[in-house]
Amino acid sequence: MSILVLGLGNSIMTDDGFGVKVVNTLSSRYHFHGKISLIDGGTLGLDLLPHLEEVESLLIVDALDMRDKPGSIFRLEGEEVPRAFASKLSVHQMGLQDLLAVAELQGHVPTRLVVWGVQPESIEMGTELTATVESAVEPVVQKVLEELQAWGVAFETQGEQ
C-alpha cells in the first residue's frame, strides 16, 4: 500500500502556507517506514498528477475556508473533500479539484482520501503564519501522525532510529 501526505499552500501568503508548514515539520521531525511519501505540493496543481499514480491513500493538509473561526481544525474524508475545495481560498485549490478529477479519469483515484485543515485568519502577502494558525500546527501534526498510525504506518522521531 502506498501513502502520500501532501501539504498544499502558498508559503508567501501567510496562513495559506499552513499545509506546507505541517508537511515540512513532519519531514524534518520524523522518519517514516514503508511506502509513504511526504511532499510539499505548494501550488503545483496538475503538476502533482504523476505523484498520485499507485497511491492508495492520500492525506492532504491545507488551509481551507470553511467559514469557521480562524484556527479551527477540521477533518474531511472521501466525498466531502471535492466539495470543500469548490469554494477556493487560493488558486492552488482549483488546481487540486482539477488534479483529483484528472486522476479519477486516469484511474488513479486513491481508495482513501482525507484532508486535515485549518481555517485561515489571513491570506495576505507574508511569509509567516498568523499566531492563531501557527497554534494549530502542532495539533494537526499530531492528528496526522494518529491518522497515519491508524493506516498502519510506523515512524519514529529523527535520531531514534
Instruction: State the CATH number of the domain containing residue 115.
Output: 3.40.50.1450
- 5-16 confidence digits (pLDDT tens): 999 999 999 999
What's this model's pTM, rounded to 2 decimal places?
A: 0.88
Distance in Å from the first CA to the final CA of the chain: 23
Q: Average pLDDT for residues 122-136, to the nearest whole number?
A: 96
pLDDT at 18 over 90: yes
Question: Shortest CA distance to 17 belongs to which of 63, 59, 58, 69?
Answer: 63
Count how many domains the chain has: 1
pLDDT at 86 over 70: no
Question: Shortest CA distance to 106 belongs to which of 53, 44, 56?
Answer: 53
Q: Which three cell numbers stand for residue 131?
A: 499566531
- The domain of 152 spans 3-157
